[in-house]
Structure 1
């Protein structure tokens, strides 16, 4: 039930509105009644209210004053005004305070019923959107951190706005660092011992890495390595501290993390603490993608890198595709500038190879969703980049082409989004029997896992894991109708190593154990044949 309060200085009208309207049938309950606007204002500062039904003119504080208070304090309360006056000035002020309805006395019950039915529909819709947003917040937080570390967001005001919007406990003025956490024998463990799927393992590891200790907040960021054994963790101090104290605190924290992971999974981890920054703004301004830095270090001498080493950058390339798909020009520009700054120390030929590789990959992936690069940007011409004699000219060319492509994708985003989701669903339908993860599907559609997680949820209203479970359970229901398959056979055929884990998921999905479902199905089929 939504809560409504009634405010009118005439007791007869106040009581009539409270008692003659069938509020429960409309989805409301009368939480309180007041004879003056000040009493209503005092009440809404202490108790939750969804709607205020108030007379417009009262002795001390008017209904318009109440509406003004709600509007100026940005309270999530809808205001309905009742008035015996038809003056335009009242209506004009009501509109300026976002009053949802303006009723004239005498008011018919049928009109009140109609209005509050409409309000309930609005509240239901807003409540659903709020729940969906709350479900998205962890994904949005992870994407924000990822964007931050990758240098896709650089404006300090925008960083502060996003931190406040997402309710994150991050201080921009305190020291921070990024830690690479490497799991040893990761793939062997997944293949031989872990029975609950890649995504559940990733979630378990990130939950261990996430948290706060010794005034330092730890935020795991998605794995960015091809072998999926390295996770980056952003550590941000919540107090003003020295570089040495932060490093010591991080080392103590990861000593405990090592013990937890080894005790739970029998896996060993190693950590590498990257440069400690004075604050987050310094980290963002460093023009060094942490993920790129890891790749360079693993490759060896950056100056000597050949074209084959470019393949190590497939993950950062996916970020370009993700931000282009989202129409985020600022993020695309920032990422490209950081990318060029990082490889700027190489010779012109090597930088040219990287840039050509980047745009060739983007062209191929855009072609898969029906976008022709030459149509999206009339400046896209490999001859221009091949003739470039200096790195700055390449940067200007790349920026201009990326601007064109991103703007083009913004105009045709709905069609391209549907195509990407279609590809993702087709991949899941073809591979549901394998131990596929969100990263596998994101890789197939050439998007960053962090971006794809949010994108999939927004487009389908389901998270990736639930959607995959739904595919598997529907297929399992088909297989259970065939007596020749044992329960453990069915579990394996729909992608689960553990029959026990499969049975639990199946019961959560259908309300029956696999055995109960099979018995009921076969019994029903036998009766139908009689």
Structure 2
């Protein structure tokens, strides 16, 4: 809707122009009209207008003066002049200044006014189209440049480059203070279990895009399945406050929790130390809890390998004695926690010790642990010390009480999963959950999850999504149903999510896939 301003010192002319045109039908509206140029100029300074229809001769400020000032305020404004025969010199000056056209007041006709209005709107439309194309081109060029720097920096920090420095030109702001930020998505494993691997990947991509939409300078790299590494200039020395506000907005919009570690660097080489330092700062969430904003401390060296325990080995005899004597599992885990909470170990070192302890307990029970490798994987995916401790308590109690049923052989486990797969095939469009499938085969949720992955090589939810995508492909190839109908028929409740997952899986949108099948 184009906004029109009418200026004329004669009320009959102002009202006549307003009544001449069906503005809504033309895609425009008369927002205001004034009797002199001074009032009109004040309105132009406070509001946005697209078209100005003005008389030339007016008190206080004539139309030519108004036009000059108006174009200074809004260079894209389209001006239509209204004149008398005696105003020719003014008309000539107005046209030289860029007026679209002029109309004779004494012989003003509706069709003449409409013709000039439509020409003005066509000019505005063409300008907007060119602006959009230019902006799109600039954004595309900026996007490609950012991606190029992203990939180069990612290879560098992951030590895939043989050279000791970046081989591409980097922005000059890296020579001034900047912040390195390591962002981890909290509860990422839970997201993956409930919504699938692709959902988490798409979420990270959206967070990355949101960063670029709000930030003109800076880079965001996806460095793991659940984390981003970001570096951006620190122009005002208040990076912590800005990160805090950005974190709040991000979590509120996407309904997620994040943990952030950051360090302040200067110079291109600071990217490497900043990556390591911010990641180590973020790892404090393992010991202090999720959702924090952590500044790198002096004790967090830029060389991660120096973060080793002052006590390289530990005597775990008391831990195993507690297990052997039948003490509650929580007591044995509390003993382990005393060591782990003292510090000096990285989260990875704590997790490896927990894996060793679990293996040792199985050996105490003369059980090799048929799913031990999967349990080790679960331990390595714990995000906090509290989560690890809870997992250890559950596992140790299950071993001691035979809570988790032991399968006699792979054949029996295979029969259970076959039954589950048959049920999924018959009910994949329904609201299936890990718990509902576990109930079908009479297993605990956690054990069924481990057994399912052992037998099929993938998580339950990822298998279900793959099955639904296969059905969606079949439906798209067979008929011309709406994408929303195909999504529903394949078991997806959210068509937007379906479209994203479909393209992520196949490389094509549902419509593009359907067209490729014709």
Fold conserved (TM > 0.5)?
A: no
Higher relative contact order (CA 8 A, sep 6+): 1
Q: Which has the larger radius of gyration?
A: 2
Question: What is the TM-score normalised by the length of structure 2?
Answer: 0.40
The TM-score with structure 1 as length reference comes to 0.39
